[in-house]
Amino acid sequence: MNQRQLKRKSSAVCLLALLCVRAAAAQTDVYIGVAGGMEYRKTALALALFMPARPGERSDQEASGEVREIIRADLMFSRYFDVKEEPLSPANLSNGKDSLEFWKTLGAAWLVSGKVSRGEKFWTMTARLHDLESGKVLLEKFYQGDPRVMRKAAHLFSDDVIMRVTGRKGIAHSRIAFSNDSTGAKEIYTVDYDGENLAQLTKDRSIALLPRWSQDASRVYYTTYRYGNPDMFEIDMKAGKIRPFTTFQGLNIPGGFSPDGMTMVATLSRGQDPGIYSLDVVTKAVKKLLKGYGVSSSPTYSPDGRQIAFVSDRAGNPQIFVLDTETGKTRKLTRMNWCDSPSWSPSGEWIVFSGRETSSEKLNIFLTDLTGGQIRRLTSGSGDNEDPSWSPDGRFIAFTSTRGGKGRRELYVMDADGSAPHPLTDLPGRTYTPNWSP
């Protein structure tokens, strides 16, 4: 076996191992994101107590408090708002002119209020967003359904408020899919962006890894050894059904999706070195995108679909490359000891990845711009940090880390500049390959 063959075999083994707008007058604070380029002024927003639809009914009182707390947490986590609260004020009991004037005296430009009812069979909420300057109701939503969807409805309203006030997409509705081995086998789970509503999706009793959300978040694709071969399965989130998606010989690993959601980039081997392929999600027709030798994997589309970032050892140790989908030309972005798991930011400006600069250090999370001229370290001195994935608004990053000790890999979320890292769940076992939903 010659040196090139040895390098290919070594890289393939490594890959398999990795598998197992509104600015109100009352603006008080500024949030600085990546490179100081993402700057958000906090707008003062008043949050009234949510009232029980049936005064005196204990279930309504409890539900109104729960819903308000969910919305409060969503709005505060977004970093867009300076939330004003006066729990003891009579202004909580009315949306009349005097009440609105009271909230204005606190410097608020907006007011969120609502009423909630929870019965045995269904739950209802009416929530409003008031423009305190004009006194008008700019947003009013009514929700009704099974009590189990109460949290989801609250998240949806939070995102509606964020969109109406800032013109930016909220993430309260989003979920994170990941693999975890707490059952003794690696299975696929999902959790809300805030760490609540944990759900186990698979019971393959094998190795299930690398979940990837479809563009409309209606499906999750993942790699599983359920039948011995690393096949790709599809989870229909609405129907709750799981079925094989691709079962080509060798590796079947989902990557990112084109903007229209009709094409997936995937890592397939098909009896050869692992490489990057495009895959029609309807016909399952495949096309090899890269020529030449070497192991290539972990493809991710740019937001405009014109480029694909991926990892390849074609130049030695695994590095981040970018493929132009029109010309077929590639360029290398990194020159480090090791790179893996690139994820393209929703803005298209950055690619986040895990890697290390020398062979003696642990894995950390880095950013690179599209020229490779700016490499920014986001984590340091806190265990191994891997598998980064962007939030749909590009302001946060999910990743796994062993910083908690005992070699245990946990799911973490941090700001896009590396600040405020925090664990998201207390699920036992080790967590792998998170992917944030659209």
**pLDDT band at 315; cut points 50, 70, 90:** confident
The pLDDT tens digits of the residues spanning 58-115 come to: 999 999 999 999 999 999 999 999 999 999 999 988 888 899 999 999 999 999 999 9
Strand order in 231-236's β-sheet? 208-213, 219-224, 231-236, 241-246
pLDDT at 430 (0 to 100) = 97
Average pLDDT, the chain: 90
pLDDT of 25 strictly over 60? no
Q: Which of 323-326's residues contact partners 24+ apart within 8 Å by CB, and which partners?
A: 323/276, 323/289, 323/290, 325/289
pLDDT of 340 strictly over 80? yes
- Single out the residue of 20, 141, 133 nearest to residue 71, CA to CA: 141
Euclidean distance between CA atoms 413 and 210, whole angstroms: 18
pLDDT of 28 strictly over 50? no
pLDDT at 39 (0 to 100) = 52
Higher pLDDT, 212 or 39: 212
Higher pLDDT, 346 or 27: 346
Partners of 243 in beta bridges: 234
**pLDDT band at 10; cut points 50, 70, 90:** very low
Cβ of 40: how many Cβ atoms within 10 Å? 17
The pLDDT > 70 percentage for the chain reads: 91
pLDDT of 272 strictly over 80? yes
The pLDDT tens digits of the residues spanning 238-253 come to: 999 999 999 999 999 9
The pLDDT tens digits of the residues spanning 116-160 come to: 999 888 899 999 999 999 999 999 999 999 888 899 999 999 999
What structural domains does the chain harbor?
A: 27-166 (3.40.50.10070), 175-436 (2.120.10.30)
What is the DSSP code string of 323-388?
A: EETTT--EEE---SSEEEEEEE-TTSS-EEEEEESSTTSPPEEEEE-TTS--EEE---SSS-EEEE
Q: Can you read off the two tokens belonging to residue 245?
A: 């998606």
The pLDDT tens digits of the residues spanning 173-193 come to: 999 999 999 999 999 999 999
**Total-model pTM:** 0.89
Average of per-residue pLDDT across 363-390: 96
Euclidean distance between CA atoms 59 and 326, whole angstroms: 59
The pLDDT > 90 percentage for the chain reads: 82
